A and B are shown apart, each in its own frame.
Chain A
């Protein structure tokens, strides 16, 4: 069964430290989304890529967050420096999008980040 893989599953870190989250999309999917989920805000879209090119990262705090796709099998989300308010579950989702395509997103199991 094809699935989106996220690592690590859990991360506890101290304020000011760098955090890197990784996502392996489903093979053949051309679009990768990063979402952050909290009780207060629900699922917020941070950034997404199609064919490794960033399409929209307007939901991401630019001063501390960065998202990249070094290759088609890996997407990364980095926070530097981390702050307690970044504590949340970060989800990666992949799908096939573009002209003529319309597939649902498939989610990974998320990275639960706690910043103390």
Chain B
């Protein structure tokens, strides 16, 4: 059965800290891995990763994929209170482009 696992499930850090969120997966017919940020409403797209070893970067956020070891990490440097959210990892399969989500990591950044 396809599975997406995230760790930790929750995390509390102080402003300015650097955090690393983990996502591992076991799926057949892998196509891509996606990261989303969810505050109070809809998940918003952060990154899509399809190739191993190529870092994607946007401001203080970056992510990388390892297709051999079947995991991805999302790094946030110099965290701010606005980074407080649930971070969701999802995997898209090649078979009918099905997209399945992990349970999310709830990040709280305190001043």
Listed in ascending order, the chain A residues whose CB lies under 8 Å from chain B are 4, 31, 33, 35, 42-43, 45, 48, 50, 55-56, 91, 93, 97-98, 102, 104-110
Contacts and interface: CB of A to CB of B under 8 A. Distances in A.
Interface residues of B, number: 23
Interface secondary structure of A, over-half rule: strand
Contact of A43 (B31, B32, B50, B88): B88
Interface string B31-51: 110101000011111001010
B98 A104 contact: no
Given A102-B31, A102-B32, A109 B42 contact: yes
A58 to B, nearest CB: 10
Contacts of B13: none
B42 A43 contact: no
Interface of B: 31-32, 34, 36, 41-45, 48, 50, 88, 90, 92, 96-104
Given A31-B97, A50-B97, A55-B96, A109 B41 contact: yes
B103 A33 contact: no
Contacts of B104: 42-43
Nearest to A48: B98
A45 B100 contact: yes
Contact of B98 (A4, A45, A108): A45
B93 to A, nearest CB: 10
8 contacts: A42-B104, A45-B99, A55-B98, A56-B96, A102-B92, A107-B42, A108-B42, A109-B41
